[in-house]
Amino acid sequence: MVINPKYKLKEIIDVSSLKDIQDKFAKIIGLSTVTVNGDGTPVVTASYFTKWCSLIRSSAEGYRRCKHCDSVGGTMAMEAGKPIIYNCHTGLIDFAAPIIVNGNYLGSMLCGQVTSTNFKNKTLIDVKRLSRELSLSENDLFNALAEVPVVDYEKILVSADYLFLFSNFIAKMGIATITKSELLDETKEKMKLTELLKNMEIKALQAQINPHFLYNTLNTIARMALIEGAPDTENLIYAISDLLRYSLKNSNNMVTIDSEITNIKKYFYIQKTRFGDRFDYKIDIDPSILNFKIPVMTLQPLVENSIIHGLKNMTINGKVKIIGKNFNNSYLTLEVFDNGIGIDNDRLKTIFAVENSYENLTGLGIKNVDDRIKHFFGYSYGIELKSTKECGTTATIKVPCIKLNKREA
């Protein structure tokens, strides 16, 4: 049983509905009723409180004792898993029924504020002591006590059973609210993912611009470079063509890490041609992870962020490393490290909180990649960023060790 639950009673039960239920119950049985949370604090205004209890609670010390008494009574009912009957701190008879939602104790319904013909407990109430300890008028206490209902104990037993029915009804309302809330959250996540995929599709369409035309044009230029004796230009154009073909051909698919690494090597080749000696790169991948699957274009956005953003102020000695590790075939990590300018703490906090944050030139930002990983593998996986200003940034991708099947290839 969870004593400090995730939800509060007020969060899962409409307060006006709760008050209406409580009022109706109190009216049916003709006894004072209050609904409290786990620490004894009333959730809604009490129904048909006796003059005695209202007077006791008008004292700060009296209210503290009543609140503690209600908390203890509710806790005892929770531990018993059924309604209990007990004497409050002043000596009156109360009974409590727990409100338990999905194993979480949220509070209780309390009823009573009576004496019984079976116990004659009015004679046990020490008015003089209460007057002294609570700083209340002894005469007012005697007058209030005279108005406390005297109820047959059988009625108390039946009322306690009724109270349990009502507390269970409140619990079921809470379960329905939580279920509805969780379904709403799930729907929101699905809508968010749908919007993400829609945006990706739009970007892919924008990037395609008749891919066959682009492939043919690039290959024509490459052949011209070969004829003109420019092998470096030829290799560069073929690398660009392969990169474009890879991103568009696999836009909705999973790929092996081996394919992703092959693609990223071509990307490094293009960027090295562009930036020359400004940076070097190293790829160190555990061979055992090469056949495991990963969403297409997972590495390129992170590498591009390292080169374009991380190393933007460096003219020499820039470094980018990709390290792949296997953790007992349970999960694997791919670390993308750069020794660049780093990301300040304020910026680091917003990267996963803002849509399209820290986007690179491809339009696939870090958050986008993280969202896709979580979509395919669950919220235990994704990207973790660590960065130190002027020292560099490490983006760690975590995915499960799952091999690519033919349908996904």
Tens-place pLDDT, residues 83-131 = 889 889 998 999 998 888 777 788 888 998 888 876 555 557 889 999 9
Q: What are phi and psi of 327, to 5 degrees?
A: -110, 85
What domains, with CATH codes, occur in the chain? 9-182 (3.30.450.190), 253-264+274-409 (3.30.565.10)
Nearest residue to 84 via CA among 62, 47, 109, 117? 109
pLDDT tens for the chain, 409 residues long, are 545 556 677 777 778 888 888 888 888 888 899 998 888 888 888 888 889 999 999 999 999 999 999 999 888 988 888 888 988 999 899 999 888 877 778 888 899 888 887 655 555 788 999 999 999 999 999 999 989 888 888 888 888 888 888 887 887 777 776 666 666 565 566 566 556 655 655 455 444 444 555 556 566 677 767 776 778 777 877 777 787 777 766 555 789 999 999 999 988 988 888 888 889 999 999 999 999 999 988 998 899 889 988 898 888 889 999 999 999 999 999 999 999 999 888 888 788 765 444 444 333 478 888 988 998 899 999 999 999 988 999 999 999 999 987 666 6
Please tell me the distance from the alpha carbon of residue 55 to that of residue 214, in angstroms, as a whole number: 86
Output the CA–CA distances (angstroms, integers) from residue 181 to 103, 169, 184, 188, 355, in the order listed: 17, 18, 5, 10, 23
CB 109, CB 99: distance < 8 Å: yes
pTM: 0.48
Classified as helix, coil or strand, 76 is helix
Query: Which residues, listed in sequence order, are joined to residue 327 by a DSSP beta bridge?
Result: 331
Element (H, E) at 106: strand 104-116
**Inter-helix orientation angle 153-208/15-29, to 10°:** 160
Strands (E), 277-381: 279-285, 293-295, 318-327, 331-338
| Residue 68 tokens, joined | 């503690």
> Rounded distance, CA 26 to CA 20, Å?
10
Non-local CB neighbours of 185 within 8 Å, separated by 6+ positions: none
State the pLDDT at residue 122: 57
What is the rounded (10 degree) CA torsion for 67, 71, 73, 78?
160
Query: Distance between CA 36 and CA 31 in Å, rounded?
Result: 16
> What is the pLDDT at residue 137?
94
d(CA 9, CA 33): 17
Spacing of C-alpha 93 from chain mean position:
43
CA distance to 240, 300, 384, per residue, from 246 (Å): 10, 11, 26
DSSP 310: I
Q: Are 95 and 163 in contact (CB under 8 A)?
A: yes
Query: Residues 143-170: pLDDT tens digits?
Result: 999 898 888 888 888 888 888 888 878 8
Average pLDDT of the chain, as a whole number: 82
| C-alpha to C-alpha distances, 31 to 72, 93, 97, 165, 319, nearest whole angstrom | 20, 11, 15, 16, 77
Q: How far is 359 from 369, CA to CA, in rounded Å?
A: 11
3-state secondary structure of 26: helix
- How far apart, in whole angstroms, are the C-alpha atoms of residue 148 and residue 146? 6
